[in-house]
Amino acid sequence: MLTIGDLSKTTGVKVPTIRYYEQMGLLSHSERSQGNQRRYSKVERDRLSFIKHARDLGLTIEAIRELIDLSQHPEKPCAEADKIAVEQLATIREKIVKLKKLEAELERISTRCHSNHVRDCYVIQALANHDLCTADHD
């Protein structure tokens, strides 16, 4: 059995986040020791690792909840899990497109500044006036 601190060190998930996942119902409430310390089993450690990996991949709490529910029914087809992954992939691809636009605009405005004074700084001017941007990057 692991304490919450040991669980945190083992998984790389901060203690407040572990408590949050318990409150959200993603992680079952832990057993308590005689001294009222939380104790976690290998099952809870594995579940927390699952949640962390899913969060690292950008999955929402709701998607993680659905995947956890699916994992409780190993006889079901994995089409729903695949669907969640494909939806997340589409979301990530959309973010990549937006990030590339942001990258291009930041590169453009940061290389246009040839002034030694803030009053003439193109970065400051471009941030103050969206019309100086070459593309929509909202």
Query: Residue 22, Cα to own-chain centre: how many angstroms?
Result: 17
Which H or E run includes 125?
Answer: helix 122-128
Task: Name the band, by pLDDT with cuts 50, 70 and 90, for residue 30.
Answer: low
Task: Quote the pLDDT of residue 72.
Answer: 92
Task: Name the band, by pLDDT with cuts 50, 70 and 90, for residue 138.
Answer: low
pLDDT, tens digit (0-9, with 9 covering 90-100), for 72-130: 999 999 999 999 999 999 999 999 999 999 999 999 888 887 778 888 888 888 888 88
